[in-house]
Amino acid sequence: MTQFESTDIFCRVIDNFGDAGVCWRLARRLLSLGVKRIRFITDHPEVLAKLAPDAEKLARVVPWDSFALEAQKPGFEPADLVIETFGCRLPESYDEALARKRALAIAADQRPPFYFNLDYLSAEDWVEESHNISGLHPRLDLPKLWFFPGFTDRTGGLLIEDDYEAEKESFMPGKKDFLASLHAGPELPTLFVFCYPVNRVEALAKGLALSDKPWNVLIAPGEAGDKLEGLLKTINARGDRIRAVRTPFLPQTEFDRLLWASDAGIIRGEDSFVRAQLAGLPFLWSTYPTEDHAHRVKLDAWLDRFVPELPASLAERYRATSVEWLEGALSPEGFRDFLEFAPMLRPALAQWQRKLLSRGDLARHMLERAQNAL
């Protein structure tokens, strides 16, 4: 669908996997929509390599510093479509080359390059006001468009593969085999846990022990997972009811399987949060923790949008559990309660998922926006 031949995506990794995770998912979407050449410029290529061992086959992955030097050389050519992510600030040499390319194109009456800043996801109201707003470079004649992902029609939407539903459908008959391949019990209810070290996994461990069912617990790699695994070992020493499984770090293209195979989840950050919603998985969100407590604002904003989908009997229960989990105040009984009511969240989550799908895909919206500017 695209008239853009080349794209440069700039990705700085603050920490963890979400920055590269979102940028790479965007890159894959753009490739599937017909963008031919992608340069993926990142200060942490090793994070990308973990998420996408095949990245080099699909894009040219370039370390940030060497690219900044490359951009200073005569004859350097910026892409037609340029995507800064999360306000990561492009090398000055690149902005200058881009401004030159733009000026030349305009002088020759040709299509100028298009420049986005793709920002973080939030359900807060201000996002609608800030989305799709153009700003100027402080020094150069170089406009840039601020694009925000989001949950409403007045935002850019979410990254959603065209074949998302088909992939899920073709996975589901093999769900038990997948669980068995992870050494989880194929017949047991399954909880997936991917959270931060600040989150109080003690409540999870004790709540699982209180549940009247034995559970599989798929524990993602990381410090919080190490702690949960240790706690579950102690609990199992007293009863051996919980099947704790450390999952390997799966390539991003396989990450959804963990969600599809689960009955409930603890997810985090931005990308796994979106994927859980697309999967219709009952979850508690470990919002990325920040010192200014913006994580609580983000959670409340999302709950304000989602909770009205729930029947009255569940609405406050889900909101309170979500907030208590984020604030480290959830009791073991509260978590056991979540495990019990999680299946009842499914119909509302399915309705929410349909709404998200109907809003269309962020990458497609970006391409349409850039093309409409021509």
Ligand X SMILES: Cc1cn([C@H]2C[C@H](O)[C@@H](COP(=O)(O)OP(=O)(O)O[C@H]3O[C@@H](C)[C@H](O)[C@@H](O)[C@H]3O)O2)c(=O)[nH]c1=O
Residues making contact with ligand X (CB under 6 A): 14-19, 21, 51, 194, 220, 249-250, 252, 255, 268-272, 288
Sheet with strand 37-42: strands edge to edge? 60-63, 37-42, 6-11, 81-85, 114-118, 143-147, 133-136
CB of 286 to ligand X, least distance (A): 8
17 or 260, CB closer to ligand X? 17
Q: Which residues pair with 81 in a beta bridge?
A: 7, 114
Least distance CB 156 / ligand X (angstroms): 16
302 burial level (CB within 10 Å; 0-12, 13-18, 19+) = buried
Smallest distance from ligand X to CB 74, Å: 36
Q: In angstroms, what is the minimal distance from the CB of 26 to ligand X?
A: 11
Q: Closest CB to ligand X among 28 and 336?
A: 28
Q: Give the DSSP H or E segment for 50.
A: helix 45-51
Between 98 and 228, whose beta carbon lies closer to ligand X?
228
SS3 183: coil
Residue number with CB closer to ligand X (99 or 284): 284
CB 116 within 8 A of CB 366: yes
- Residue 89, SS3? coil
CB 36 → ligand X: shortest distance, Å? 24
- Distant-in-sequence, close-in-space partners of 144: CB < 8 Å, separation ≥ 6: 84, 115, 116, 117, 134, 135, 136, 137
CB of 108 to ligand X, least distance (A): 40
> In the complex, what is the shortest distance from the CB of residue 254 to ligand X, in angstroms, rounded to a whole number?
7
| Nearer to ligand X (CB atom), residue 113 or residue 269 | 269
Q: What is the DSSP secondary structure assignment for residue 212, as one 8-state letter?
A: S
The minimum distance between CB 17 and ligand X, in angstroms, equals: 4
Judged by beta carbon, residue 121 or residue 209, the one nearer ligand X is 121
In the bound complex, what is the minimum distance in angstroms from residue 43's beta carbon to ligand X?
13
The string over 140-162, giving b where at least 16 C-beta atoms fall within 10 Å of a residue's C-beta and e elsewhere, is eebebbbbbbbbeeebbbbbbbe
The torsion defined by the Cα of 207, 209, 215 and 218, in degrees rounded to 10, comes to 70
Query: Between residues 147 and 194, which has the closer beta carbon with respect to ligand X?
Result: 194
Backbone phi, psi, residue 5, to 5°: -85, -35
Judged by beta carbon, residue 9 or residue 209, the one nearer ligand X is 9
Q: Output b/e per residue, 260-294; b: 16+ Cβ within 10 A.
A: bbbbbbbbbbbbbbbbbbbbbbbbbbbbbeeeeee
Residue with tokens 């240790």: 230
Q: For ligand X, which is the closer residue by CB, 260 or 288?
A: 288
